[in-house]
Structure formats: structure tokens, C-alpha cells
Structure 1
């Protein structure tokens, strides 16, 4: 069963979908989830939610402020701390619902939001369990590696140019999420396959996806790191799902981050033969990650 919902977040109205197991009764454990770079709630999350529902756990997926059906005058702007605030406001909304057990709340994130849920595990004691799928854990090192040294210098120059323009009162700049010709067109994620998959997803599942962001979003990503928060993840149950050989969010950086989490209740699942993008393009790969998520939340919530 799906239910469209709305809730307030820092002056904006957030749109979400509550996925509830069919024929479920009473208060259920509930997982809050949102997407990665320029995602809307229709991208991959419904497929994961339906499998998590099989474990008797309901899922609330939402659009960040400025994306999809949520309000927000500044569109396509990714401020990680605002997104984390949207997560926390979603938790607050869920707590007040009659069909939610507020003592059994979890969070799931993928890619950029995979990093967010690790931070949330450190700062919000309401969260009992998280699943972090192919997370961004270190924006600077991630993008420098993805672009290569020379192209990364071009990205830094474009960000600085935009910063100066904004300071002078000019319109803020935009940048592609990904490009099929990354050596000709600057983008945040310089992988043609990212563009191909998200173009297909927009055509088939998520018509409100827009394949660009503000340039300042890239600047904020360069300053993004989960590392300072990992030592604080002590009482939360953490699962990290890593795609073997992931060269987009850098699977070795993900494993390094996982090893810094002191929680005695943590688990890593490395998916052989799975790439970052096949989690979106190949439903069988999506399902593998979703089954691991279902088992974790069913056990821990």
C-alpha cells in the first residue's frame, strides 16, 4: 500500500510516499529514506521499499526541499546539512503518526544519502538502525579521484568563478550531474554511464528528475566528510552495502569509513559483480541490496 504524505521542514513542505505492507495493522517499525545526487523519491527507493515491506517494516521515502514534488524556491540545490535536516524532520513527522512505532525508527540512504545516514546515526538518538548503500564518505577525495588531477583543477576553477559571481550579485551557476562527454562538458560526476542510466530512469520512472544542480552544490560536496562523526556511532546498528569495484563513490573509501565505526553491532555486505550504476539499471542487483536491507531492519527494529 502506498500513501502520499506531506510534512513541514524548515519552512518548506516536503512530499513523500509511505510504503506500508499490505494488510498490516497497528504501529510498525518505520524506515526513513531519501536519495542521492539530484534524486527524486521515485528513483530506486520504491523498489527497495517493497522488499523491506516484506519484513513487516514500513518505509517513508521523500523528496528533499527543492527537488521533485517538495517546495523550495532554490531548485536543484544540494546542501548536505539541509538534506540531513529534512531527514530529521521526516523522523519527527513519522514519530507523530498513529501507524508508526516511534521506538523503532531506522534510516536508509544510497550514494550521497548513504553518507547522510551515517552522520544521522551519530547525531540523532531516535535512530536504532541504518543501512548505508554505496555511500559518499569523502567528497573531496572522491571527486578528485573521479575527475583526475587536471580535470579536477577545471572543476575547482569553475566553482571559484561561481563563488565570485554570486558574491557580486549575479545569478548562480549550474553544472550537469553527469555528462556523456566529460572531457568536453564539466559535470559533478564525470561518468557517461551515470548520464545514460539517469536519462533512462527519467523516461521510465522519475519524470521530475532534473540532471543538473547548482554549482554551489559541488562546492559543498568538496567540503563533505562523514569521518568526524563515525567515532560517535556507538549505539546504532549499522549495515553498509558496498558494490565491488565501485569507482564512482570509491568502495575502498567506503570500507575505510566502515572500519572507523566503533559500534559492536555493524555489518558490511560486499556485492560481487555489482557496480554503482547497476543498482539502478539492473533490478536483480537492486533486489540483492534490498534483501540485505530487509533482513537488517527486520532483525534490528
Structure 2
């Protein structure tokens, strides 16, 4: 069963979909999830949610402020702390519902939001269990690897130019993923990312926009989950990593996992699965979703 809901977050109205197992009765453990870079709630999250439902767990997927069906005058702006606040306000909304067990709440994130839920595990005591899928854990080192030396210098120059322009009230934009590395500046310079997200936009996520504010890239460069990981002590944490993932740097992900102090943690390294095949190949999506279902169950 899918129920469309709305709730308030920092003066904005966020749109979500609550996926509840068919024929479920009473209060259920509930997982809150949102997407990664420029996602809307229709990208990959419903496929994961329906499998997690098989474990008698319901899932709320939502759009951040400024994305998809949610309100927000500043569109396509990714501020990690604003998005973390949206997650926390989603938790506040969900714990007030009569069909939710407020003592059994979890979070799931993928890619950029995979890092956000690790921070949430450290700062919000309501969260009992987390699944982090191919997370971004170190924005600077991740982007420095993703771009070669020339492209990274161009990215830094573009960010600086935008900062100067914002003083004069001119906000710049940047493509999410370019089809050509040198002809168009982008945050994620991988043609396959562009291809898959354009397919998703055509097939199931028409509100996806393939750009962000340039300031979003600046905030990403200064983003790291590392200072929070030692504070994750009493939360169940599963991290799902794609072996050889060069988009969000799987070795950085494993390093981050090892910094988590909780003894209730598990690392799943998926061989034969890539970062983008988690989106484009439903068999690979299902592998990650089943792991999440088992963990939350």
C-alpha cells in the first residue's frame, strides 16, 4: 500500500510516500529514506521500499526541500545540513503517526544520502538502525578522484567564480553529470551517470532535474562524515559497498566503516555490482534491497 503524505520542515512542505506492507495492522517499525545528488523520491527508493516491506517494515521516502514535489523557492540546492534537518523532521513526523512504532525507527540512504544517514546515526538518538548504500563519505577526496587534475582545477575555479557572483546576487548552476568530461563542467563527470539518470527521468522520475546550484558543489567539497563516526556507538549500522566503485570510492567507504565504534555493524561488499548498476539493473537493486530488508527485520 502506498500513501502520499506531506509534512513540515523548516517552513517548507515536504512530499513523501509511505510504503506500508499489504494487510499490515497496528504500529510498525518504520524506515525514513531520501535520495542522493539531485534525486527525487521516485529514483530507486520505491524498489528498495517494497522489498523492505516484505520484512514487515514500512518505509517513508520523501523529497528534500527544493526538490521534486516538495516546496522551496531555492530549487536544486544541496546543503547537507539542511537535508539532514529534513531527515530529522521526517522522523518527527513519522513518530507522531498512529501506525508507527516510535521506538523502532530507522534510516536508509544511498550515495550522498548514504553519508547523511551515518551522521544521523551519530546525532539523533531516535534512530535504532541504519543502512548506508554506496555512501559519499569525503566530498573533497571523492571529487578530486572523480575529476582528473585539469577538471578538478576547472571545478574549483567555477566554484570561486560563483562565490564572487553570489555577492552580486547571481547564482550559478552546474550539471549533475556530463556526457563529455572536458566540454561541460559537472559535479560527477561520468557519462554513465548522465545516461542512467536520463533514463530514470524518462521512465519513472519525471521531476528529476539534472543540475544543481554551484554552491552545492562547494558544500560537497567541505563535507565529511568522519568527525561523527566515532559517536556511532549504540546504533545498528549496515554499509553496502560496490566492489571497485570508483564513483563514491569504495576504499574510502570501507575506511569510514572501520571508524564506526558500534559493535552492531556489518559491511557488505557486493562483487559484480557497480555504483550505477544499483540503479540500472533491477537484479542488482534487489541484492542491496534484500540486504536492507534482512538488516531492518
Write the deviation string for residues 9-28 of structure 1: whole angstroms up to 9, x where unpaired: 00000000000000000000
SS of residue in 1 equivalent to 2:247:
coil
Q: Which residue of 1 aligns with 2:53?
A: 53
Q: Which residue of 1 aligns with 2:132?
A: 132
Tell me how far apart the structure 2 counterparts of residues 78 and 6 of structure 1 sit (CA, whole Å).
20
Q: Which residue of 1 aligns with 2:230?
A: 231
Tell me how far apart the structure 2 counterparts of residues 252 and 56 of structure 1 sit (CA, whole Å).
33
Q: Which residue of 2 aligns with 1:155?
A: 155
**Pairing of 1:247-266 with structure 2 (within 5 A):** 247-266=246-265
Tell me how far apart the structure 1 counterparts of residues 43 and 285 of structure 2 sit (CA, whole Å).
11
How far 1:150 sits from its partner (Å)? 1.7
Tell me how far apart the structure 2 counterparts of residues 51 and 271 of structure 1 sit (CA, whole Å).
18
Runs of at least 5 residues in structure 2 that lack an aligned partner in the other structure? none
**Pairing of 1:1-301 with structure 2 (within 5 A):** 1-169=1-169, 171-298=170-297
Write the deviation string for residues 132-151 of structure 1: whole angstroms up to 9, x where unpaired: 00000000000000001221
Tell me how far apart the structure 1 counterparts of residues 98 and 168 of structure 2 sit (CA, whole Å).
50
TM-score relative to the length of structure 1: 0.98
How far 1:68 sits from its partner (Å)? 0.1
Q: Please, what is the CA RMSD of the aligned residues?
A: 0.4
Tell me how far apart the structure 1 counterparts of residues 91 and 71 of structure 2 sit (CA, whole Å).
18
Tell me how far apart the structure 2 counterparts of residues 168 and 294 of structure 1 sit (CA, whole Å).
49
How far 1:167 sits from its partner (Å)? 1.1
How far 1:205 sits from its partner (Å)? 0.5
Tell me how far apart the structure 2 counterparts of residues 168 and 59 of structure 1 sit (CA, whole Å).
43
Tell me how far apart the structure 1 counterparts of residues 210 and 151 of structure 2 sit (CA, whole Å).
20
Tell me how far apart the structure 1 counterparts of residues 143 and 52 of structure 2 sit (CA, whole Å).
32
TM-score relative to the length of structure 2: 1.00
How far 1:37 sits from its partner (Å)? 0.1
Runs of at least 5 residues in structure 1 that lack an aligned partner in the other structure? none
SS of residue in 2 equivalent to 1:232:
coil
Tell me how far apart the structure 2 counterparts of residues 4 and 287 of structure 1 sit (CA, whole Å).
24
Tell me how far apart the structure 1 counterparts of residues 272 and 95 of structure 2 sit (CA, whole Å).
38
Tell me how far apart the structure 2 counterparts of residues 202 and 271 of structure 1 sit (CA, whole Å).
26
Tell me how far apart the structure 2 counterparts of residues 192 and 182 of structure 1 sit (CA, whole Å).
8
